Amino acid sequence: MSPDVACTPLHALHLRHGGRMVPFAGYAMPVQYPAGLLKEHLHTRAQAGLFDVSHMGQIRLTPHSGDVDDVARALETLLPIDVLGLKSGRQRYGLLLDASGGIRDDLMVAHCGDSLVLVVNAANKVADEAHLRAHLADACTVTVLARALVALQGPGAEAALTRLAPEVAAMRFMDVRMLGLLGASAIVTRSGYTGEDGFEISIPEDKAEALAEALLADPAVLPIGLGARDSLRLEAGLCLHGNDIDPGTDPVEAGLSWAIPRVRRRGGVRAGGFPGAARILAALEDGPSRKRVGLRPEGPTPVRAGAPLFADETGTAVGQVTSGGFGPSLQAPIAMGYLPAALAAPGTRVFAEVRGKRLAVAVAALPFVPAGFKRA
Amino acid sequence: MRKFTDEHEWLDCTGEVATVGITTHAAEQLGDLVFIELPKVGAKLTKGEAAAVVESVKAASDVYAPVSGEVIAINEAAVTDPSSVGTDPQGAGWLYRIRLDDPASLDGLMDEAAYAEFAK
């Protein structure tokens, strides 16, 4: 790795476990381990996978007033979600918007009792921190947490983690708990990026390796690289910022309207008041002109990000593939992209251009693989 | 005898027919293969042009024609089960057979020792 690439607290562990390291968002990250992408992906859905996601940004917002409601109100000027109604011990998905309603980043917001903790994408964390400081300085301190973050995902995740902390068994999807893990103070959420049940664990950097090795000592848990992380989230129909969502896409066309609650929409008690509100609230009522869709190539050829989409075998491009590859759990190629609303109904047949040929592709409902969240 | 290219292909030559595949090194770098596209039997290939595609979960990689000639056979097993190429890329995982336009075109290619050095 070049000297410009940073290491996560688990770097030595990755090398010990045979991780193949690649630069990603300025960090040396394991794209796979000796098991390989297919086995790592399938193992996560069958048992449990452990992912190092320490490259992501963790940012704590602590209210000057001591009242988290004050930070929540301030944060609602940047996100089109219900932060004020977020209860202590709960987490919510959020979208950081720019003035035209485009998506600067997607993130999680957790209410940790005395503060809100945000988890943001690695590629955007420096810009996000600056943005939060510029807009929230009056309401709160903005602290970047120097902590490691690991994700334990899969149907076997609960069993593996309860061995270290029995209280996680009582957590439901999107719960947040502060608890002790191997004598360290951890922030644990029941959430993830794979479509499976699982946990994301924030831990002090100097305790990360011991925690990861303790989890990997469980025969059901394998280390999983970024390659499988991507195929897992694609099968789950989850957006990757920079591919499926970016400042050029708004939440409505991205299919993320569910994250905008009634209280922030027209007629709601706290309607609007976020960047791009006029455009977004209109799109919520009128419908977007284009939509993010799932795509299933009819043949075996994978269709990948950047491939143009066509309504028929001749004619000009009407859309584009934003993420694509192979779904190991489906044993078939899958993709996501944007199409005009009129072509976005599941079952619609469109064409993707791959190596100069137009291949038939069917619009498919998302997710491709049903979710396994522990909701009740 | 077996020859190698700087694009990580190998050729086994008998007379004017060569069997072509990707090297073990290339297969290891690519990881799990999920899709393989081979040239059509009868296709005329020019040295250096993309002849086949091997795809891993993450990316598509071109396999180039190491020599010019006509494709006389393809390995159907590689198409129906791409993982078979990863299992034995320099044996049962061969990709296609080509009748060379010019047997002398092999001369510029690397032998096993030179390739081993190149692939380090």
Task: List the helix and strand counts (H, then E) for chain B.
Answer: 4, 9
Q: Is B49 on the interface with A (CB under 8 A)?
A: no
Helix (H, G, I), strand (E, B) or coil at B14: strand
* Phi and psi at residue A365, to the nearest 5°: -70, 150
ipTM: 0.90
Inter-chain residue contact B31 with A32, CB threshold 8 Å: yes
In a domain, B107, yes or no: no
Residue of chain B with shortest Cα separation from A226: B58
Question: Average model confidence (pLDDT) for chain A?
Answer: 97
Range of the domain at B18: 2-100
Average pLDDT rounded to a whole number, residues A274-282: 96
d(Cα A51, Cα A212) in Å, to the nearest integer? 9
Q: Is B32 on the interface with A (CB under 8 A)?
A: yes
In a domain, B105, yes or no: no
Measure CB to CB from residue B35 to each of A230, A231, A302 and give the nearest one: A302
Q: Kindly report the CA angle at A15 between A14 and A17, in degrees rounded to 5?
A: 65
Digit-coded pLDDT (tens) for A200-255: 999 999 999 999 999 999 999 999 999 999 999 999 999 999 999 999 999 999 99
Inter-chain residue contact B57 with A38, CB threshold 8 Å: yes
DSSP state of A374: -
* b/e burial code for range A265-284 (CB count within 10 A of at least 16 → b): beeeebeeebbbbebbbebb
Question: Average model confidence (pLDDT) for chain B?
Answer: 95
Candidates A90, A73, A43, A37; CA nearest to A273 is A73
| Percent helix, percent strand, percent coil in chain B, to nearest 5 | 25, 40, 40
Chain A neighbors of B37, CB-CB under 8 A: 301
Residue of chain A with shortest Cα separation from B79: A300
d(Cα A139, Cα A111) in Å, to the nearest integer? 16
Q: Check pLDDT > 90 for residue B70.
A: yes
Average pLDDT rounded to a whole number, residues A9-31: 97
Q: Check pLDDT > 90 for residue A353.
A: yes
Residue A193, token pair as written in the block: 């990026």
**Residue whose token pair is 């090297």:** B23
In a domain, B26, yes or no: yes
Helix (H, G, I), strand (E, B) or coil at A57: strand
Confidence of residue A308 (pLDDT cuts 50, 70, 90): very high
d(Cα A364, Cα A28) in Å, to the nearest integer? 35
Average pLDDT rounded to a whole number, residues A336-348: 98
Let me know: does A353 contact A307? Beta carbons within 8 Å: yes
Inter-chain residue contact B57 with A227, CB threshold 8 Å: yes
Average pLDDT rounded to a whole number, residues A331-354: 98
Average pLDDT rounded to a whole number, residues A51-65: 98
In a domain, B112, yes or no: no
Measure CB to CB from residue B35 to each of A37, A39, A301 and give the nearest one: A301
In a domain, B33, yes or no: yes
β-pairing verdict for A221-223 and A48-52: parallel
Measure CB to CB from residue B60 to each of A230, A300, A302 and give the nearest one: A302
Q: Is B87 on the interface with A (CB under 8 A)?
A: no
In a domain, B46, yes or no: yes
DSSP state of A245: B
Percent of chain A residues past pLDDT 90, beyond the cut:
97
Predicted pLDDT of residue A1: 60
- State the total domains in chain B: 1
Q: Is B55 on the interface with A (CB under 8 A)?
A: yes
Predicted pLDDT of residue A4: 78
| Domains of chain A and any CATH numbers | 1-213 (3.30.1360.120)
Average pLDDT rounded to a whole number, residues B71-88: 96
In a domain, B95, yes or no: yes
In a domain, B109, yes or no: no
Predicted pLDDT of residue A2: 66
Chain A neighbors of B35, CB-CB under 8 A: 300-302, 326, 333
Measure CB to CB from residue B60 to each of A227, A304, A328 and give the nearest one: A304
Domain at B65, CATH number: 2.40.50.100
Q: Check pLDDT > 80 for residue A167.
A: yes
